[in-house]
Amino acid sequence: MTTSSAFGAGDIVTIEFPKADGSVGKEDRPCLVVSGPTALGDYCLAMISGEKHDDGVSISGSDLAQGNLSKASFVRVRRLYTLEGTLVTIKRAALKPAAMVRVMNALCPALGCKS
């Protein structure tokens, strides 16, 4: 397992995804690191789904600087989570800078940012 300080924006990681009741839910959930770690070791993550959604930014193998995805996927820009670093279990891949810019360009309007 890689330590949490090893992850940065653009990394695709696997997390132990907690359910609303605090128990661990589906394991092996891929997420994109949007920012972090904070001084407390927390990360802001965006869910990655294999299914198309209206808030999804498409990513594929050609968007990766390293690693791989099992299939073309979608970064859900309205499905954001702040999780402590201990729930981030492994780095699977990393986006190329141009792909990360595409995600961030979709993320800001979804959050109501003004450019």
Full domain range(s) for residue 94: 4-111
Q: Which residues of the chain have pLDDT under 50?
A: 1-4
Read out DSSP for 10-43? TEEEEE-PBPTTSSB-SSSEEEEEEE---TTSEE
pTM across the whole model: 0.86
pLDDT at 34: 96
* Number of domains observed in the structure of the chain: 1
pLDDT of residue 3: 44
Q: What is the CATH number of the domain that holds 43?
A: 2.30.30.110
State residue 2's pLDDT score: 44
